[in-house]
């Protein structure tokens, strides 16, 4: 078992996903600059070790909502309002990231995607080329869904899934999902004290996938355990190992990559019949 974790030391291309709730102060919903700073430092240090790094970050809608200060949460419902929040928030979020990355002399880039980026052959090819060039240039791509244009037909809908799609697209060695939970349990630990922690998942069985459907997400993000298991399916089927770990201490990133046994490791289980564009085309938000 520990050999599996030793393998993490050799991971060369890593996609890291952080959710909105991990980036905000729970009390105010404002950005947690201390966490952001540690996150960026960790990523820059991976880059300094010669690894290729991609950050998939949520937060556009949450940051935009804060910026225009609408008290009544009910006003979030119309899609156009969320899209307007995202338009404001994505720019603010990037400004904050760019500032911190610059402090570490690291160049960062922005890539915004929708379902079409994967389903359309030309778009997918272009995106792949862009990632490849950015890696060559030593740049860290920062990815989010293009929430300002992504309505139901073309939206991926949550960044767990988006990060797995990105990991698959760039042929990453490892996907790390940083979340507000320690990993995978046999049941929701917040509701069932007997829930057992699962350290390694070698095979995503139908039972496991079913279990995820009953869990719920956090207040500000879109992902619950269901989307994380969907992400494991996409990543694993395309040969990418995945780890779910708790973001309460962002330094978990370098600990994971030094082989420490933290979080739940989903071992890649490549499926040569898995067709990413077709899978993404057929995805439906529930
Ligand atoms: N793309 C959304 C945002 O940046 C978040 C999606 C998610 O939470 O998974 O606000």
Whether residue 77 contacts residue 20, with contact meaning beta carbons closer than 8 Å, is answered with no
Ligand 1 first shell, C-beta below 6 A: 19-20, 58-62, 144-145, 147, 158-159, 221-223
pLDDT number for residue 253: 98
Tokens 């990060």 belong to residue: 163
* Count of CB atoms situated within 10 Å of the CB of 240: 27
Top-confidence residue, 194 or 259: 259
Residue 286 confidence class, pLDDT cut points 50, 70, 90:
low
- As a residue count, the chain comes to 286
- Write the pLDDT tens digit of every residue in 47-72: 999 999 999 999 999 999 889 866 66
- Write the pLDDT tens digit of every residue in 116-157: 999 999 999 999 999 999 999 999 999 999 988 877 667 888
Name the residue of 18, 24, 31, 61 to mutate for ligand 1: max ligand atoms within 8 A of Cβ.
61
> Residue 90: pLDDT above 80?
yes
* Atom number of ligand 1 nearest to Cα 145: 1
For residue 209, the CA-to-ligand 1 centroid distance in Å is 22
pLDDT number for residue 219: 41
For residue 144, the CA-to-ligand 1 centroid distance in Å is 7
Q: Which strand (E) or helix (H) includes residue 208?
A: helix 206-213
> Residue 221: pLDDT above 50?
no
Top-confidence residue, 204 or 187: 204
Residue 167 domain boundaries: 2-285
Residue 52, domain CATH: 3.40.1160.10
- To the nearest 5 percent, what fractions of the chain are helix, strand and coil? 50, 15, 35
Number of folded domains in the chain?
A: 1
> For the whole model, what pTM was predicted?
0.93
For residue 62, the CA-to-ligand 1 centroid distance in Å is 8
Residue 285 confidence class, pLDDT cut points 50, 70, 90:
low
> Residue 34: pLDDT above 90?
yes
Mean predicted confidence (pLDDT) in 266-275:
96
Taking CA atoms only, the protein residue closest to ligand 1 atom 2 is 58
């Amino acid at each position: 078992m520990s050999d599996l974790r030793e393998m993490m030391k050799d991971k060369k291309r890593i996609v890291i996903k952080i959710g909105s709730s991990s980036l905000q102060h729970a009390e105010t919903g404002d950005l947690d600059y201390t966490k952001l700073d540690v996150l960026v430092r960790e990523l820059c240090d991976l880059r300094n070790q010669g690894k290729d790094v991609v950050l998939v970050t949520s937060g556009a809608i949450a940051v935009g909502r804060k910026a225009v200060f609408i008290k009544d949460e009910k006003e979030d419902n119309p899609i156009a309002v969320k899209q307007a929040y995202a338009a404001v928030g994505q720019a603010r979020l990037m400004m904050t990231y760019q500032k911190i990355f610059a402090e570490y002399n690291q160049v960062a880039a922005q890539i915004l995607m929708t379902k079409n980026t994967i389903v359309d052959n030309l778009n997918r090819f272009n995106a792949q080329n862009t990632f490849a060039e950015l890696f060559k240039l030593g740049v860290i791509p920062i990815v989010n869904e293009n929430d300002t244009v992504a309505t139901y037909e073309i939206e991926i809908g949550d960044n767990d899934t988006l990060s797995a799609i990105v990991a698959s697209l760039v042929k990453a060695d490892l996907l790390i999902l940083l979340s507000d939970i320690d990993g995978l349990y046999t049941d929701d630990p917040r509701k069932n004290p007997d829930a057992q922690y699962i350290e390694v998942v070698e095979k995503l069985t139908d039972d496991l996938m079913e279990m995820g459907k009953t869990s719920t997400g956090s207040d500000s993000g879109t992902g619950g355990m269901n989307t994380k298991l969907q992400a494991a399916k996409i990543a694993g089927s395309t040969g990418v190992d995945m780890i779910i770990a708790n973001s309460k201490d962002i330094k978990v990133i370098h600990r994971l990559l030094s082989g420490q046994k933290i979080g739940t490791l989903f071992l890649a289980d490549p499926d040569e019949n898995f067709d990413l564009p077709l899978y993404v085309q057929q995805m439906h938000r529930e």
